[in-house]
Amino acid sequence: MMTSDNMKIFLDTADTEIIRKHFTTGLIDGITTNPSLIMKSGRNPEDVYQELKDLGIHDISMEVMGDSSNMIVEGRRLASKFGSCATIKVPCTYEGLIACRQLARELIRVNVTLIFDVAQAILAAKAGAAYVSPFVGRLDDNSITGLNLIKDIDDVYRVQCIHRTRILSASIRYVNSVSQSFAHGADIVTMPPAVFEKMYNHVLTDKGLEIFDNDWKEVEPLLEKQETPSEE
């Protein structure tokens, strides 16, 4: 559901050096992580979360596992330790939705992940999720157009006036999927750093810049000549 402060960009990584580099642009609004990304970093997840919090990132998805009781206990602990920057990430399962409902009642922000169907997004919204995360790329891998799910969820949320649950488009592989996710109604898109980098790198931009640089070299001597005082 698009609102005035949306079109947010999250990075999907636990590599703090890459995050630090891109966060300095002022264009990154949050971070999503998962057990696979944490494992790839080779670090204690809570060390990663603390470093990101110290960097000034205000929205960090922290995944919890187990049954609903374990997810609730761990979600409370992480929210208490990391404060308002903590978003507790739970799967869209029976246990995950129970945990979401309880954590949301305690005003803890929850991201319900692994969404592959509108029905799941409906249940997540009813459970009080702050975010639902449809996995666009994984649907595409299974010959289902992932972007259509974004639109279908947005249509339902608009008709039902669901404003508190935002659509976070995930499992993004291509730059075009970013722009199309926003066009189809996503509020937030999370992406690997490589996709974010391709958003501002374009071969035609590079070519145009090269032409401008070459032309500027022709202009500079004229400016220097104009600025040199004449001898009388």
Catalytic residues: 89
Neighbour-count burial of 117, counting CB atoms closer than 10 A to its CB (0-12 exposed, 13-18 middle, 19+ buried): middle
Largest CA distance in the chain: 90
Q: How does strand 8-12 pair with strand 131-134?
A: unpaired
- Who contacts 86 (Cβ-Cβ below 8 Å, separation ≥6)? 49, 60, 62, 78, 79, 108, 109
Contacts 24+ apart (CB under 8 A), 155-163: 155/185, 156/118, 156/121, 156/122, 157/1, 157/121, 157/125, 158/1, 158/185, 162/1, 162/125, 163/1, 163/3
- Segment holding 84, helix H or strand E: none
